[in-house]
Amino acid sequence: MIATIARELQNNDRFLVATHVNPDGDAIGSLGALALVLEGMGKRVVAYCQDEVPGFLRFLPYADRIIREISGPDHFEVAVVLDCGELDRIGSAVEVLQHVRKIIHIDHHSSSDDFGQINLVRPECSSTAEILYEIFQAIPVSLTPEAAENIYAAILTDTGSFRFANTTPRALAIAAEMVSLGVMPEKVAGEIYDSMSPERIKLLSLSLNTLTLRKNGRVAAMHVSRRMLEETGTRFIDTDGFVNYPRAISSAEIAIFFREMHSSEVNVSLRSRGGLNVAQFARIHGGGGHHNAAACRLQGALSEVVEKILKAAEDFIEHGQPAP
Ligand SMILES: [Mn+2]
């Protein structure tokens, strides 16, 4: 499969590369790495992500060239969809994408659909960037420091700074290789983790005040409302990573972060440690993700969704995992 994709990248000339809405470090890093490698091979590339690149990822080489709208499927021979469990998560470009002759789907989410003509889904990989690295080796291409920085940032963020269970020998070895190619870990970490605006810190402080514990702290949750965003002059994108605060509580087995979206829709981020499979929990509520990191979106007022999901999380912990 790796070899097949390597061949497709070599044998075609006009590529669309795309990733999911609300992009994270793996989404933007994978997009940038693949776009840079394809350009290095002399290919024509359009890189697409519906939503804006979060501030902490804008330093990445290529991030400023990602476009947010595309037209016509005819421009592209191949579309490569990255880090995206369902095609719908591409956002508004889904129409165009469905008409591209060949879709190559590369992902590491365990709940990933087979929506492409070629599907490479490897849940054992730390990140989509790790899978790309293997494809790049199979072509083979040598990576520029710019491509390497994108891969490094993707692995760094998807492993939670090399802390999560997906911090495998392989993930660390690729990260080490990227450093030997010129990536500076101190610079990348500074850009990603120490670049908060004062407004964002104020938003965090409001959100920390909403901390709710259930089941003797085994369930820990926080939320951000539209009003908090208005009050602090921040945006939805500024809540990225907030779920890691309830997750950091020693007793927490499930951490939940609620974000009030527009018109009675709530985004729910879920994290777990160890055995509890939050991807399964998310799927029950119409979402998906990984064993220890997942998300879903529910209709309803913020307070209703919070109560409903907290109750469900308590049951989930109490009764273990329901039959699939
Ligand atoms: Mn990922």
Regarding whether 189 and 204 lie in a shared domain, the answer is no
In the reported structure, the alpha carbon of residue 67 is separated from the centroid of ligand 1 by a whole-number distance in angstroms of 20
In this structure, is residue 298 part of a structural domain?
Answer: yes
pLDDT at residue 324, as a whole number = 42
In this structure, is residue 324 part of a structural domain?
Answer: no
Regarding whether 161 and 202 lie in a shared domain, the answer is no
In the reported structure, the alpha carbon of residue 155 is separated from the centroid of ligand 1 by a whole-number distance in angstroms of 8
pTM: 0.86
Regarding whether 56 and 39 lie in a shared domain, the answer is yes
For residue 156, give Cα distances in angstroms to 83, 126, 160, 206.
15, 10, 6, 27
Regarding whether 229 and 87 lie in a shared domain, the answer is no
Regarding whether 125 and 253 lie in a shared domain, the answer is no
* Number of domains the chain is built from: 2
Regarding whether 208 and 130 lie in a shared domain, the answer is no
Would residue 126 be called left, alpha or beta, if left means φ above 0 and alpha means ψ between -120 and 50 degrees? alpha
Structure tokens at 258: 């609620």
Give the length of the chain: 324
Contact 85, 55 (CB under 8 A): no
Regarding whether 246 and 135 lie in a shared domain, the answer is no
Contact 49, 66 (CB under 8 A): yes
Regarding whether 172 and 262 lie in a shared domain, the answer is no
In the reported structure, the alpha carbon of residue 209 is separated from the centroid of ligand 1 by a whole-number distance in angstroms of 29
Regarding whether 176 and 31 lie in a shared domain, the answer is yes
Note the maximum CA span of the chain.
58
Residue 296's domain comprises 198-319
pLDDT in tens, the chain (324 residues): 999 999 999 999 999 999 999 899 999 999 999 999 999 999 999 999 999 999 899 999 999 999 999 987 788 999 999 999 889 999 999 999 999 999 999 999 987 789 999 999 999 999 999 999 999 999 999 999 999 999 999 999 999 999 998 999 999 999 999 999 999 999 999 999 998 899 999 999 999 999 999 999 999 999 999 999 999 999 988 998 899 999 999 999 999 999 999 879 999 999 998 789 999 999 999 998 889 999 999 999 999 999 999 999 999 998 865 544
In the reported structure, the alpha carbon of residue 290 is separated from the centroid of ligand 1 by a whole-number distance in angstroms of 9
Regarding whether 187 and 228 lie in a shared domain, the answer is no
In this structure, is residue 110 part of a structural domain?
Answer: yes
In the reported structure, the alpha carbon of residue 11 is separated from the centroid of ligand 1 by a whole-number distance in angstroms of 27
**Boundary (domain end) residue, out of 133, 160, 193:** 193
Structure tokens at 133: 């690295």
